[in-house]
Chain A
Amino acid sequence: MSRTLPVLTVTAVLIALWYLAVIPMNATWEYDQARRAGAELPFAEMVARTMAQERPVLPAPHQVVIGLYEQTVGCDAVGRRMCRETTPLTVQGFGQRVVAAFTSNRSLVYHAGVTLSATMLGFLIGTGGGILLAIGIVYNRAMDASVMPWAIASQTIPIIALAPMIIVVLNSVGISGLIPKAIIAAYLSFFPVVVGMVKGLRSPDAMQMDQMKTWSATGAQVFARLRLPMSMPYLFASLKVGIAAALVGTIVGELPVQEGGLGVRLLSGSYYGQTIQIWAALFAAAILAAGLVGIVGLIERRVLARMGMKR
């Protein structure tokens, strides 16, 4: 791929800048502590210390990587027994550790799984609802005129304010656990799908619509054989945005529910001042999002290639 070298270069430059930034950001604390202890702090020693702080203002990249490792398949995450009996250096050992990590709530793998389940459910609900709404908007003028502006306005409401209220209301009618989180994820992911599908369903031009008319196609046939296939590229573009939005929505929805998940892990790292835990959870969430978008992208390439719409 012609993109490997540029990506590697850019990543390397960013990491180098990151290392450089660690020093001034963590320096204040080091000098403070030295001053209180009445000791002198030479520059080289200060630099070394800033790279190994327990509560850094900006953790060094190696600290984040080590933290990620330790919190996914490290000893702390999989339990003492697993730690003694397996080693991550062999494929089998690594696999055993990953399996153990799925059930241990000290591991980011478990929390990522919790977040993933709510994200997928919310994404399905949001996509389904979004497609139905888009069909309604395209085929019903009343809906187009009245619902579309409100769909746009709904995205200006900060979901982080609504999430606790939605959860309390749903709990009061007996729905708790996975479904409220999924509903909040669906709320955030339905809008990109609506916008994309509306654009896609309206993308056939006049010539193509006329062609269908010359073949005396019924409304359903026009939908199934013209509008729907032509909207596939737009749909997939919105699905990529939508799945990332569903992940954000799930993380927001986890905060009031407090039953595990990357969002809860992010916040609890924040309460106990475990900066590296915050950064590890943050990167785990980003990796999850990138992975999900990548999977959707893969499906997109396959489907569009089979439909003859290579991009």
Chain B
Amino acid sequence: MMKYGWAGMAAALGMTAGMASAQDAVTLQLKWVTQGQFAGYYVALDNGYYEEEGLDVTIRPGGPDIAPVQVLMGGGADVMVDWMPSALAAREQGAPVVNIAQPVIRSGLMLVCWADAGIATPEDFRGHKIGTWFFGNEIPLLNWLSQLGIPTTGGEDGAEILRIGFNVDPLLQHQADCVTAMTYNEYWQVIDAGVTPEQIVVFRYEDYGVATLEDGLWVNEANLSDPAFVERMARFVRASMRGWEWALANPEAAAEMVLDHDETGAQTLEHQVRMVREMAALTEGSTGVLDEAAYQRTVDTLLGGGSDPVITRAPEGAFTHAVTDAASME
């Protein structure tokens, strides 16, 4: 169960006391398309948690061509969901993004390989083809290979990296020996395609100490100097965490809410329910506050990337507890 220091009631009471009757507009840019990965936010929207906090929230789905950092810097959103490695890399590129909350505290990233490809340990990646997504998602894999000392140029001694699309066909069609997958999404697509767990071998990043923090809430640093903005974000984070708590206790209903918001009409209920349940494992125990030790572990993993580090120096001021502190003050 989620641990909260505040009761939803107290928050609501506090809100009704001195809140302006007009709702404050907040735009959230998601990292990917509408799916159970972001169930908490959709629940908060549909259950009225944002409304109770006096917020009028618009959730913008992401996609393969959408870089959340770009949208944030272009003013198209007030807050974005992004993975820490790509956000820190963007910060080093000159985009001043700052982490204000970290709802997802465990990594769901994994590599799924065919059992008969002869890969039993990460060392066996040599001489095999690994398919990965890019757009910021390749950073953990390249990082891991760099730490193992496996070159990415292919051949007998190295691993051949293929850029694959966001599905598991390359694995199923044997075009790659391993593919990147999320525990809550692609892994289940492989199983749904008729592959049994005995036919595959999985390598979870968490098990090998190369996991990095994933979905977090990030904002533009320039906005943080405005106390009204910080206060608005605090309300947003608080309502979002309430949404996550409810979603994890009611996965079927949460999945239906996600389906209602799906613009493409391509989602299936079964897949989304499974996704929300898996997210429970990744967010269990989270209060939304970024744990400094976990942050430092991610930074160390990224800095230790051997010949091709993702970031070249330790980021400064990349996160703030001001928002989560303000959120728990009620």
Q: Which residues of A contact B (CB under 8 A)?
A: 29, 33, 36, 54-55, 57, 77, 104-107, 110-111, 163-164, 168-169, 171-172, 176, 255-256, 258-260, 264-265, 267-274, 277
Contact = CB atoms under 8 A, between A and B. Distances in A.
- Of the listed residues B166, B196, B265, the one surrounded by the most CB atoms of chain A closer than 10 A to its CB is B265
B329 interface: no
The majority secondary structure among interface residues of chain A is helix
A272 B263 contact: no
Given A176-B76, A258-B33, A268-B33, A168 B70 contact: yes
B169 interface: yes
B74 A169 contact: yes
A168 B71 contact: yes
A267 B74 contact: no
B62 interface: yes
Given A55-B193, A168-B71, A272-B271, A105 B264 contact: yes
Contacts of B47: none
B82 to A, nearest CB: 15
B10 interface: no
Nearest to A55: B193
Interface string B46-76: 0000000000000011111111001100111
B265 A106 contact: yes
A255 B64 contact: yes
Interface residues of B, number: 35
A258 B31 CA distance: 12
B121 interface: no
A111 B263 CA distance: 9
Contact of A256 (B65, B173, B199, B264): B65
Nearest to B62: A258
Given A264-B264, A265-B266, A163 B167 contact: no
Given A271-B167, A273-B168, A273-B193, A36 B76 contact: no
Contacts of B61: 258
Contact of A55 (B172, B196, B267, B271): B172
Given A55-B193, A171-B75, A255-B64, 5 more contacts: A171-B74, A260-B263, A265-B264, A269-B266, A273-B168
A270 B167 contact: yes
Contacts of B263: 105, 258-260, 264
Given A171-B71, A268-B33, A255 B63 contact: yes
Interface string B290-325: 000000000000000000000000000000000000
Contacts of A272: 167, 189, 266-268, 271
Interface string B247-277: 0000000000000001111111001000000
A260 to B, nearest CB: 5
B118 interface: no
B223 to A, nearest CB: 15
Interface of B: 33, 60-67, 70-71, 74-76, 165-169, 172-173, 189, 192-194, 196, 199, 262-268, 271
A267 B63 contact: yes
Nearest to A165: B70
Contacts of A36: 196, 199
Contacts of A57: 173
B66 A164 contact: yes
A142 to B, nearest CB: 35
Contacts of B192: 273
Contacts of B165: 270-271
A258 B63 contact: yes
18 contacts: A29-B172, A104-B265, A105-B263, A106-B265, A164-B67, A171-B75, A171-B76, A176-B76, A255-B63, A256-B63, A258-B60, A259-B263, A260-B263, A264-B63, A265-B264, A267-B63, A270-B165, A270-B167
Contacts of A168: 67, 70-71, 74, 76
B76 A255 contact: no
Nearest to B169: A273
Nearest to A108: B265
Nearest to A164: B65
Nearest to B165: A270
B33 A271 contact: yes
A272 B262 CA distance: 14
Which of A29, A169, A267 has most chain B Cβ within 10 Å? Answer: A267
Nearest to A176: B76
B65 A277 contact: no
Contacts of A107: 265
Given A107-B265, A258-B263, A273-B193, A163 B74 contact: no
Contacts of A176: 76
Given A105-B265, A176-B76, A270 B166 contact: yes
Contacts of B64: 255, 267
Contact of A277 (B62, B67, B193, B266): B266
Given A33-B194, A36-B199, A171-B71, A274 B266 contact: yes
A260 B264 contact: yes
A172 B193 contact: no
A237 B306 CA distance: 58
A106 B76 CA distance: 27
Given A105-B262, A265-B264, A256 B66 contact: yes
